[in-house]
Chain A
Amino acid sequence: KMSEGNFTSPLYSIFIINKSGGLIFHKDLVQRKVRLTSNSYLQIAGVFHGMYAITSQLAPTKEVSSGIKTLEADCMKLYCFQSVTGTKFIVTTEPNRNDVEINEFLSQLYSLYANYVLKNPFYDLEQPIHNCDKFQINLNSLIENMFSVSL
């Protein structure tokens, strides 16, 4: 089953979710066995946003706990970074990936977002990222440089 997918990139997908749980950016770097519709992606983002909150609430600690930072499955690992402003940056990768490296990637992704999306005066805050070519180009460069893939 696995061989039907195209997994040449160690990085599988990238998601950016706004502070209300709306998906504003999504990029697949590998071909999925089962194609998902754009609505499915929106739903997935919304559910993840909820799960992130539940995880935080379920934590048995006295201090406030963060939500999901990593999530592991047989075939993939998911990493999530939430900014102080409430935007979530999520990547899925092949399993057994180096945490430090991926967290660094998330940090760079946040920088790219702050630079090429937010600073674009024609970008509407909290809305899906359209027409931010510089963001896409620089993101591709970042992925190519960090993971030695060609896009």
Chain B
Amino acid sequence: GMSRYNTNLQQVANNTWNKIDKINTELFTLTYGAIVVQLLKDFDSVDDVNNQLEKMGYNIGLRLIDEFLARSGLGRCRDLRETAEVIAKVGFKMFLGFAGTVLKMNAKKGSFHLVLEDNPLIDFVELPAQYKDTLIYNNILCGVIRGALEMVQMKVKCTVKKCPLKGHDVTQIKVVLIEHLTSEIPVGDEF
């Protein structure tokens, strides 16, 4: 049942991982850090910065989804659980280099949590006291997930629940399905 499906996704994740070009994660981490710091200089409030990071992520997500689908060869997910597993096992592996896990899967409420033990975005980062409670350093990930899922006709809301920069042990993002954009489903396809 679920364990055989998970092994299957594991295989897809490994095959996809082997196909793609790799870069030095440090450059990725440093580039993202530079962006955050610059945004904090450019914008007055930390809230504005959080919104900008989410927006940037959203624009990335809109574009990233086709790359994900083309590389992984995966089709439409059958249900929310499958969507969650695919993002965690294949999506995160492909774009962050580390697979994540799914927690608190609740099909009825239409929500799940994505957990990342290793998160290259936050390597070497330490938040100064003034930003510890307000800055959502990982907010770009929330935007990426939102943008990507919107292109496959799912409207979601993502929030960062846990972050090692705030003293937690993992990065954890809560995803809530607001609605299926049924009118946007390409004709000849179904969810």
Contact = CB atoms under 8 A, between A and B. Distances in A.
B151 A85 contact: yes
Chain B residues touching A, majority SS:
helix
Contacts of B62: 125
A82 interface: yes
A66 interface: yes
A35 interface: no
Contacts of B66: 83, 85, 87, 110, 113-114, 118
Nearest to A66: B188
B142 interface: no
A52 interface: yes
A52 B188 contact: yes
A90 to B, nearest CB: 14
Contacts of B64: 118
A64 B188 contact: yes
Given A84-B76, A85-B152, A111 B187 contact: no
A118 B188 contact: no
Interface in B131-157: 151-152
A56 B69 contact: no
B70 A56 contact: no
Given A84-B152, A118-B66, A53 B189 contact: no
A22 interface: no
Contact of B67 (A64, A67, A115, A125): A115
Interface string A119-132: 10000010000000
Interface in B117-171: 151-152
B41 interface: no
Interface size class of A (residues with CB under 8 A): 20 to 34
A83 B188 contact: no
Nearest to A112: B70
A83 B184 CA distance: 13
B69 A65 contact: no
A55 B188 CA distance: 8
A63 interface: yes
Interface string A46-80: 00000011011100000111110000000000000
Nearest to B148: A85
Interface in B52-88: 62-67, 69-71, 75-76
Contact of A82 (B67, B188, B190): B188
B186 A118 contact: no
Interface of B: 62-67, 69-71, 75-76, 151-152, 184, 186-190
25 contacts: A19-B184, A53-B187, A57-B187, A64-B190, A82-B186, A82-B188, A82-B189, A83-B69, A83-B70, A83-B186, A84-B69, A84-B152, A84-B186, A85-B66, A85-B69, A85-B186, A110-B69, A110-B70, A111-B70, A114-B69, A114-B70, A115-B67, A118-B64, A118-B66, A125-B63
